[in-house]
């Protein structure tokens, strides 16, 4: 089982290793990447992710347990990055390894929907690299890297 909140880049090959185990024939991974949406102040060039660490970790661990009970997931990855991410960077990797693929698809879909709805993570758009000083970010996890 693997829950991780980090300021560093996320690796899908590391996620695959975390999802390894004998008898786990089906692995499904979801990776979220920063999209160049058009924000109110122009095209988005980056997102700043903030996380409230303690309640986020508690909720992620609950989701791990739910994926195991409801879908028979034997390995789970729930990784999220915080700080400033440029367009194209991976913000989250969510995945499940199960004996069979139908369970792995269902578990991974469940995990990403629940992560979005119920884990205290926020993203703020950056329309262009800002030169002026930004407001002091929230402490705990989630300070902007840029």
Partner 1 sequence: MARESVTVLLFGPARQATGTGELAWPVSLGGIPAQTLLRELARRFPRLAPTLRVSRFVRNGRYLARLSTRLRPGDEFAVHPPYGGG
DSSP 70: H
The answer to whether 9 contacts its own copies (rule: CB under 8 A) is no
Query: Which letter does DSSP use for residue 137 in this model?
Result: P
Choose the contact partner of 121 out of partner 1, its own copies, none; CB within 5 to 8 A by kind.
partner 1
Site for its own copies in 17-46 (CB under 8 A): 20, 22-36
# chain residues binding its own copies, by CB under 8 A: 31
Q: Is 99 in the site for its own copies (CB under 8 A)?
A: yes
Query: Considering only residues 40, 69, 88, 131, which one is a binding residue for its own copies as defined by CB under 8 A?
Result: 88
Residue 120, C-beta contacts closer than 8 angstroms, at least 6 positions apart: 51, 52, 55, 56, 59
Site string for its own copies, 104-123 (x = CB under 8 A): xx--xx--x-----------
Task: Specify the stretch interacting with its own copies by CB under 8 A; choose among 64-72, 76-84, 102-110, 130-138.
Answer: 102-110
C-alpha 119/C-alpha 43 separation (Å) is 27
Integer Cα distance of 98 and 68 in angstroms = 9
Minimum distance, C-beta of residue 1 to partner 1, in the bound complex (Å): 19
Smallest CA-to-CA distance from 129 within 84, 83, 81 is with: 84
Nearest to 59 by CA among 120, 112, 109: 120
Find out whether 108 and 28 touch, Cβ atoms under 8 Å: yes
Which residues lie near its own copies (CB under 8 A)? Answer: 11-13, 15-16, 20, 22-36, 87-88, 90, 99, 101, 104-105, 108-109, 112
């Amino acid at each position: 089982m693997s829950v991780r909140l980090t300021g560093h880049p996320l690796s899908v090959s590391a996620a695959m290793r975390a999802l390894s185990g004998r008898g786990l024939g089906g692995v499904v991974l979801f990776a979220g990447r920063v999209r160049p949406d058009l924000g109110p102040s122009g095209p988005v060039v980056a997102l700043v992710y903030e996380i409230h660490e303690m309640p986020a970790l508690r909720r992620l661990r609950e989701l791990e347990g739910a994926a195991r009970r409801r879908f028979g997931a034997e390995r789970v990855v729930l990784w999220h990055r915080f700080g400033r991410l440029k367009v194209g960077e991976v913000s989250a990797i969510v995945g499940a390894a199960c004996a069979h693929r139908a369970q792995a698809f269902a578990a991974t879909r469940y995990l990403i929907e629940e992560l979005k709805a119920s884990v205290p993570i926020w993203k703020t758009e950056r329309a262009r690299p800002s030169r002026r000083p930004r407001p002091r970010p929230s402490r705990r996890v989630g300070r902007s890297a840029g």
